[in-house]
């Protein structure tokens, strides 16, 4: 029983990373109709930034947790202004070329300076212990990640559903043309939303630094699963991406724990789920089918 609870907890922790990344992808796709293949690279920059801040300037984890998301959000906004916004009118192929190319450039720039070997990053001392849950004890840092991610998702949900800004963003995400027809300047919100999505990726990166290998390719490995998560949740669906993120984290953890005699199954389970969902609901679990153009 305690084993099951622990595996569930771990699944939720992995899910928290998926959810944060998928949430960013979802708002960006919703608002700009751009699939940001560079999302994993920004996650990597978040983790690397935390490492560089600590190793070269002695900036602690807690400060990095604020500095990196904000810094990357600003970088994201600059990129959106400079290149990304030009994609909206072009063939989706250009979207792929640009954002994927961006990934390669960012990865190689980091590689050039810091090499491919993973860089060390320690768990902040305040969170290095473990919490006793009666049935089992669990590393404090993981409890912190889970709490933090859930809190953040709830906050985003609150902003989106309870504030005027959120209403505008949601409307522009789901029906940009109609929103424009109501006289709302959709374009004004595009840049900050892109920056916000990138900021979330950077935040996930900083959170990952103490428990994952920090190297230029760390985002490239993770992003494959995150795209599956986004597709399962429904491309552009904000709630769907968060729910699918935690869901896939759980499925993976349970798969590894209880299907370990069938390594092929536990390795491919995410993509099996994705294929199943696409057959059953082509727009994803929470997505809405787009009206034919």
Give the E-state strand segments of 197-281 in sequence order.
none
User: Which of 150, 217, 275, 285 forms a contact with other proteins (CB under 8 A)?
Assistant: 217
CA distance 193 to 143: 28
Rounded to 5°, angle at Cα 91 from 85 and 92? 75
Neighbours of 61 (CB within 10 A): 21
**130 sits near other proteins (criterion: CB under 8 A):** yes
**41 sits near other proteins (criterion: CB under 8 A):** no
Report the nearest approach of other proteins to the CB of residue 222 (Å).
Answer: 7
User: Of the ranges 38-46, 65-73, 115-123, 190-198, which one interacts with other proteins (CB under 8 A)?
Assistant: 115-123
CA distance 244 to 19: 7
User: Which of 224, 272, 278, 282 forms a contact with other proteins (CB under 8 A)?
Assistant: 224
Neighbours of 213 (CB within 10 A): 15
**22 sits near other proteins (criterion: CB under 8 A):** no
Question: Which H or E run includes 218?
Answer: helix 218-233
**6 sits near other proteins (criterion: CB under 8 A):** yes
- Which residues 6+ apart lie within 8 Å of 245 measured at CB? 15, 16, 17, 18, 19, 20, 21, 22, 23, 226, 229, 233
Report the nearest approach of other proteins to the CB of residue 131 (Å).
Answer: 12
Report CA 261 to chain centroid distance, whole Å: 30
Rounded to 5°, angle at Cα 95 from 91 and 99? 165
**237 sits near other proteins (criterion: CB under 8 A):** no
User: Which of 267, 281, 283, 285 forms a contact with other proteins (CB under 8 A)?
Assistant: 267
Nearer to other proteins, 10 or 99 (CB): 10
**14 sits near other proteins (criterion: CB under 8 A):** yes
Nearer to other proteins, 69 or 249 (CB): 249
User: Which of 222, 229, 231, 243 forms a contact with other proteins (CB under 8 A)?
Assistant: 222
Task: Name the DSSP letter for residue 262.
Answer: -
Give the E-state strand segments of the chain in sequence order.
130-132, 137-139
- Kindly list the residues in this chain that would bind other proteins in the complex (CB under 8 A): 3, 6-7, 10, 13-14, 111, 115-120, 122-123, 130, 139, 141-142, 208, 210-213, 215, 217-218, 221-222, 224-225, 249, 252-253, 256-257, 260, 263, 266-267, 270
């Amino acid at each position: 029983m305690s084993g099951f609870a622990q595996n569930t907890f771990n699944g939720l922790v992995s899910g928290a990373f998926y959810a944060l990344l998928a949430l960013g992808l979802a708002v960006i796709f919703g608002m700009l109709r751009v699939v940001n293949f560079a999302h994993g690279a920004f996650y990597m920059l978040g983790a690397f930034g935390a490492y560089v801040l600590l190793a070269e300037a002695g900036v602690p984890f807690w400060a990095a947790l604020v500095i990196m998301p904000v810094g990357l959000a600003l970088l994201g906004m600059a990129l959106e202004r400079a290149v990304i916004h030009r994609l909206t009118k072009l063939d989706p192929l250009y979207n792929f070329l640009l954002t994927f190319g961006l990934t390669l450039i960012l990865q190689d720039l980091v590689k050039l300076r810091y090499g491919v070997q993973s860089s060390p990053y320690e768990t902040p001392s305040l969170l290095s212990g473990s919490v006793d849950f009666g049935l089992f004890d669990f590393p404090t840092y993981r409890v912190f990640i889970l709490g933090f991610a859930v809190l953040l998702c709830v906050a985003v949900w609150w902003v989106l559903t309870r504030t005027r800004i959120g209403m505008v963003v949601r409307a522009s995400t789901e029906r940009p043309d109609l929103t424009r027809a109501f006289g709302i300047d959709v374009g004004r919100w595009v840049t900050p939303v892109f920056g916000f999505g990138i900021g979330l990726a950077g935040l996930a990166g900083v959170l990952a630094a103490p428990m994952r290998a920090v190297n230029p390719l760390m985002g490239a490995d993770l992003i494959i699963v995150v795209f599956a998560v986004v597709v399962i949740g429904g491309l552009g669906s904000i709630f769907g991406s968060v729910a699918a993120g935690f869901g896939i984290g759980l499925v993976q953890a349970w798969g590894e724990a209880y299907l370990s005699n069938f390594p092929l199954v536990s390795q491919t389970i995410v993509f099996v789920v994705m294929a199943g969902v696409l057959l059953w609901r082509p727009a994803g679990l929470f997505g809405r089918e787009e009206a034919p153009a």
